[in-house]
A and B are shown apart, each in its own frame.
Chain A
Amino acid sequence: MPQTTIYVAPRLAGTLGTIPPAVATVELARLFGRSAALAGVSLTVEMGRTVALLGPNGAGKTTLLRILATAIRPSYGSLSIDGIDALRDAERVRGRVVYLSHATAHYDDLTAEENLRFAATMFGWGEREGQPVVREALATVDLLGAGERVRTFSAGMRKRLALARLLVARPSLLLLDEPHAALDAEGMALVDRLIGLWKEAGVTVMIASHQAERVSSLADATVRLEGGLLAEVSGVGAAAGPVGASQRRGIAVVGLDR
């Protein structure tokens, strides 16, 4: 198995030396036209925790992740990442958050290595220092020898390359939207292994998935969304059930709306 180095953003200290939560949302809502994809979610996740986001289609999982990634702005509510107000200082937040979306976001006429070298530059690696990082990431996802253009890749290969892009980033918070989708058994095992490595490195990981059993086994806690609202919270240190305000070690969920 190739060596995999995990790069992590430096931790930020909060006021009076306390460690701010990785994610803190208050009444987060997002409307698309008249429809509310997210209808008021208040959620706090401590640094270094792994959280599985579950729920049926249209529950608001992807919308929540996209708001946390600063890809879209909420219609209402507030949001901080590592203690940084994400609505006011999105650029700083983007230096700490990395998002794996449904779309693999590659350039079809570039090779896997060219795509990854571009991503490495965008994540702040210099030409020379980035080279071994890119090659190691490609080796980890078993694409080191793939010299052809991404246009010719299968869906699984594209997904592996998207995973490699996460490895050249330096996240503090990792947002994974259906990370196992389009992958074969070996690829899914790779995702599980990588999540384990990020977890060990202290990266906060939020995983939206329909594979409830699989991601629940990887996570410290599970959060179930339904109709854009928090429906259930369970797992290590999580507040379970529809309570008004609850905070325990690990993950704290505040202000359940149901």
Chain B
Amino acid sequence: MSDLRRGLTVAVAIARKDAISELRGRQAAGSTLFFAAIVLLLFGFALGPDSQRLAEAAPGLLWLAIVFGGLLTMARLHQLEADDGAFEQLALYPVDRRAIYAGKALAGAAAMLVLGGLLLPVVAILYGIPIGAAWLPLLAVVVLGAIGFAAIGTAYAGLTVRMRAREVMLPLLMLPIVAPLLLAAVKATVAALGGDPLGELGSWLQLLVAFDVIMLVVGAGTYGFLLED
């Protein structure tokens, strides 16, 4: 088996294992979605009943809810490993550390995609914005945002999973790094929902792609060190 094929097999096995755990531990995944939806609802209360104001703020609030929910998701995917010493065992398997990173990031991206995909209609209903016509560019933004968030989140969750104050440390370390992704995703969402009159959607998507690539390369390169004692 070639190294690449072996790496892919390992990554898929890790992602599949995480997906099964997530699906069977529905309470945790459901709570995350519920939490993100509550965040959106509370933002709506905070902004008041002005429908135009809500519609203008919707893209930013959507991505803030995705980020908050994503932090919980990333922490949970690594908590699976921390329970019962599985993280140490994972580090001791004779596999390329980049494949372990790829597997965890793949699981994270899939979970983020589901989260983003489910929150989009919630935003549409709560803030009264039509997303039907813009579903394809919105899907592209959510996919790229999910990959970027998972790329960073996997690395930072790996770093903090063995810390005592991991619940605090993960957002503290991750949020500053995620800021460019948040900005690009919000701008791209605004452009997609507005029909892209200025033709800037492509540029924001390119920025998201560049961010994803950089974070995946950095994450894959550093994750192995995080697994070391």
A70, A102, A106, A126: the one within 8 Å of B92 (CB): A70
**Smallest beta-carbon distance A164→chain B, Å:** 13
> Are A107 and B86 also in contact (CB < 8 A) when A73-B228, A118-B17, A126-B1 are?
yes
Describe B's contact surface by its main secondary structure.
helix
> Could you tell me if A106 and B20 are in contact, using CB atoms closer than 8 angstroms?
no
What separation, in Å, do the CA atoms of A69 and B92 have in the docked complex? 7
Query: Chain B residues near A156 (CB, 8 Å)?
Result: none
The reply on B10 being an interface residue by CB < 8 A is yes
The number of chain A residues with a CB under 8 A from chain B is 29
Known A105-B85, A108-B84; further 14 A-B contacts with Cβ < 8 A: A69-B92, A71-B92, A94-B93, A97-B92, A103-B89, A104-B84, A106-B84, A106-B86, A107-B21, A109-B20, A109-B25, A122-B90, A122-B94, A123-B94
A residues with a Cβ closer than 8 A to B are: 69-73, 91, 94-95, 97, 99, 101-110, 114, 118-119, 121-124, 126, 149
**Smallest beta-carbon distance B227→chain A, Å:** 10
**Closest residue of A by beta carbon distance from B224:** A91
Query: Chain B residues near A121 (CB, 8 Å)?
Result: 9-10, 13
> Could you tell me if B85 and A101 are in contact, using CB atoms closer than 8 angstroms?
yes
**Closest residue of A by beta carbon distance from B13:** A121
**Smallest beta-carbon distance B12→chain A, Å:** 9
Query: Chain A residues near B25 (CB, 8 Å)?
Result: 109
The reply on B53 being an interface residue by CB < 8 A is no
What separation, in Å, do the CA atoms of A126 and B92 have in the docked complex? 19
Of residues 1 to 43 in B, which have CB atoms within 8 Å of A's CB atoms? Answer: 1, 6, 9-10, 13, 17, 20-21, 24-25
Query: Chain B residues near A103 (CB, 8 Å)?
Result: 84-86, 88-89
> Could you tell me if B20 and A108 are in contact, using CB atoms closer than 8 angstroms?
no
CB within 8 Å: A-B pair count: 74
Query: Chain A residues near B92 (CB, 8 Å)?
Result: 69-71, 94, 97, 99
Describe A's contact surface by its main secondary structure.
loop
Query: Chain B residues near A104 (CB, 8 Å)?
Result: 84-85
> Are A122 and B10 also in contact (CB < 8 A) when A109-B25, A149-B24 are?
yes
The reply on B50 being an interface residue by CB < 8 A is no
> Are A114 and B84 also in contact (CB < 8 A) when A71-B92, A72-B229, A121-B13 are?
no
Query: Chain A residues near B20 (CB, 8 Å)?
Result: 109-110, 114
Q: List 6 A-B contacts (CB under 8 A).
A: A94-B92, A99-B92, A105-B89, A109-B24, A122-B90, A124-B6
**Smallest beta-carbon distance A142→chain B, Å:** 21
